[in-house]
Structure 1
């Protein structure tokens, strides 16, 4: 079920029943013996100008969802509609044009930059590949991009290894902006940075959103960052969405037991505001052989026998607030 806002605007991005099952090879002949169900039927919408965050434990399928939307990993099944067009059904040449509108900022700002290229070459390559800026205007555009992300123009001839992590991430942001995108997927874009640098980069992303009228899909595990940065939040567990709501509703009134456990783990500076920590029992099940029924029932503190059999369907529990739990 696709969750939508009570809004007249059309979604910029629609993800429908997206699945990403990676094959496991075995035996002498290398046949497929099983699959890793990294993403198992994910559906959501993103509207123009929104910042939608995906949160969950490591291995829940957050980053794989982002990569599948971009077709960096070809999805097993499902639909991804960008401005109404299913981009999973188009060829590589057509997809190349879409990539100008869909960009990504990766987690590791060093691994995502070519160490053999200067900053100027990195930014120029993006514009040249998609031919978004005439060749004569590119040097001036590079200077302007660097200024917008808070970097001096005299770094164009320097290499990625000469910069700090925060500076490298700013270069990555400039590269994403170079092709004038409409939607940027931020895949753990600040998790590798120091806390003080995180705040600077988040403020930069917020300012760029207003200046360029951008839309963000923000993938993160830090709920404190998500609370500061998001309009709506999607909670994933073991490849499935368990709750989706606007930021205020989710943090003030979480409904799914897994969401409650995640929020209880957020550090609280004041003992007066401290809440009881929800400790989940057991380990996260393997995505190779996920539990039947509700995938969370093996760790859920309120699970019943019915939870082992029935896959919960989304129900509306508030305005723009949906949860996949039969016990709510």
Structure 2
């Protein structure tokens, strides 16, 4: 790929200590993100999907250093973010912005919309003070709101409008990378589509790069260039959008894709129902973390961690972490517990 690499994440780990006992010592860790590596290129949308608790939002927070990573490296534009002190990081935050999931909780109810948007401009010295209000009005209109609403408070807006205010706030300091942390999951389906279309339009207009975190593959299909699938703190598959949807390799990705409803009631679709619940990240399974729920699991899956690898039948840039990719494709290995069809 000849695009410029904007963000490089290497062997990222995020462990949260569990305290216990009379002295409050650390007795164990929640391994929320465990050895994750990926790149993001300028101008692309890289999405991270998976069930709740898979570590996708924690990955986004670790990149922003909202939580300090346990181990690994995060390079932004060739600069190691983890080596920056608080003052240097605050300057760099101008280039890295976030849109949060809950538009009701992420805006200060005591501030007007104008103050919410101009606050970041003041902190980062992004816009001269006398031009900040004018710029805030311009941003409100850019995200599809009326500039005359600048002196209103967040409670006077709907959920979709509040999320647009959150987007305007993120844009106010001219960022290079925006992390969208479940940015549309709290919105109605019709509003989701409007916000996704707005994000795509803004990406073209401002040459933005997105890390888009979501649990809904249907949503991800509309906005992504490439997709990472995570399970229990690890990446199980990474590919461009077309390759992932047309030719999923990992059994977990296949089960996620099979859950997307089809609009045609006549079309029969195989529905893969996974057995059991996601194991605890406090004591994840040995070997492949998916083996406790995988219909193709064998003895090797219980003991050896599969590499994230590329195979000849897969498109370039398509990697999956499964011991049995070839055998599943050829039909040499059959599901070892029931799958239901719908």
TM-score bin, normalised by smaller chain: over 0.9
Q: In 2, Cα distance between the equivalents of 1:312 and 1:273?
A: 35
Q: In 1, Cα distance between the equivalents of 2:267 and 2:101?
A: 32
Determine if the alignment matches structure 1 residue 98 to structure 2 residue 95: no
TM-score under structure 1 length normalisation: 0.97
Determine if the alignment matches structure 1 residue 177 to structure 2 residue 182: no
Q: In 2, Cα distance between the equivalents of 1:267 and 1:244?
A: 22
Determine if the alignment matches structure 1 residue 233 to structure 2 residue 230: no
SS at match of 2:102: coil
Q: Which residue of 2 aligns with 1:249?
A: 243
Q: 1:135 aligns with which of 125, 129, 136?
A: 129
Q: In 2, Cα distance between the equivalents of 1:306 and 1:153?
A: 61
Q: In 1, Cα distance between the equivalents of 2:2 and 2:224?
A: 21
Q: Deviations over 1:246-303 (max 9, x none)?
A: 0000000000000000000001111344321101111110000000000000000001
Q: Which residue of 2 aligns with 1:54?
A: 48
Q: Which residue of 1 aligns with 2:192?
A: 198
Q: In 2, Cα distance between the equivalents of 1:67 and 1:88?
A: 13
Q: Which residue of 1 aligns with 2:320?
A: 323
The equivalences for 1:275-286 within 5 A come to 275-286=269-280
SS at match of 1:192: coil
SS at match of 1:88: helix
Q: Which residue of 2 aligns with 1:4?
A: none
SS at match of 1:300: coil
SS at match of 2:83: coil
Determine if the alignment matches structure 1 residue 162 to structure 2 residue 156: yes
Q: Which residue of 2 aligns with 1:149?
A: 143
SS at match of 1:312: coil
SS at match of 1:180: coil
Q: In 2, Cα distance between the equivalents of 1:8 and 1:222?
A: 29
Q: In 2, Cα distance between the equivalents of 1:283 and 1:113?
A: 34
Q: In 2, Cα distance between the equivalents of 1:222 and 1:283?
A: 18
Q: Which runs of 5+ in 1 are unaligned?
A: 1-6
Deviation at 1:178, TM superposition (A): 0.1
Q: Which residue of 1 aligns with 2:76?
A: 82
Deviation at 1:92, TM superposition (A): 0.6
Q: Deviations over 1:56-110 (max 9, x none)?
A: 0010001000000000011101111000111011101110111100000000011
Q: In 1, Cα distance between the equivalents of 2:56 and 2:218?
A: 17
Q: Deviations over 1:120-141 (max 9, x none)?
A: 1111101000000011111110
Determine if the alignment matches structure 1 residue 125 to structure 2 residue 123: no
Q: In 2, Cα distance between the equivalents of 1:324 and 1:195?
A: 32
SS at match of 1:204: helix
Q: In 2, Cα distance between the equivalents of 1:266 and 1:112?
A: 29
Q: Which runs of 5+ in 2 are unaligned?
A: 326-342
Q: Deviations over 1:212-266 (max 9, x none)?
A: 0000000001111101110000000000000000000000000000000000000
Q: Which residue of 1 aligns with 2:33?
A: 39
SS at match of 2:144: coil
SS at match of 1:210: helix
* Cα RMSD (Å): 0.8
Q: In 2, Cα distance between the equivalents of 1:231 and 1:179?
A: 25
Of the structure 1 ranges 61-70 and 152-161, higher mean CA displacement relative to structure 2 is found in 152-161
